[in-house]
Structure 1
């Protein structure tokens, strides 16, 4: 059974050997690690969504401002 890649990081670097052993022999430790990995994966997924939503919001807000100006310009020209 392979150790999840999420466990190979700077925070756990000095514990790499212990993690490898405990992950394979200790079910409680494995469950904690699996939960950690799932949470980390979810965090990355939500951060990507947040960035995507932020970009969409920014584009929409810019379009809104441009259209506000265009409406005002149109009203000024026509009245």
Structure 2
């Protein structure tokens, strides 16, 4: 059983050997680490989703503004 990649980070670097051992022999510690890894993975997933959703929001806002201008121009020309 190998150590999840999320545990190889600067916060734990000083304790990596202890972390590896405890992860293998201590079920409570392993569960805590696995929960941490799940949390990190979910954070990344939602960060990407937020960025994607934010880009879509901006695209629709820009489209709405462009269409507002076109509608106004159309209305002015028809008067």
Question: Which bracket does the TM-score occupy, shorter chain normalised?
Answer: over 0.9
1:70 Cα offset (Å): 0.3
Q: TM-score scaled to structure 2, two decimals?
A: 0.99
* Counterpart position of 2:42: 42
Matching residue of 1:23: 23
Following TM superposition, by how much is the alpha carbon of 1:40 offset from its aligned partner in structure 2, in angstroms? Answer: 0.5
Runs of 4+ in 1 over 6 A off after TM superposition: none
Deviation at 1:72, TM superposition (A): 0.2
- TM-score normalised by length of structure 1: 0.99
RMSD of the TM alignment (CA)?
0.4
1:66-77 superposed matches below 5 A: 66-77=66-77
Question: Aligned pair count?
Answer: 79
Q: Deviations over 1:14-37 (max 9, x none)?
A: 011110000000000000000000
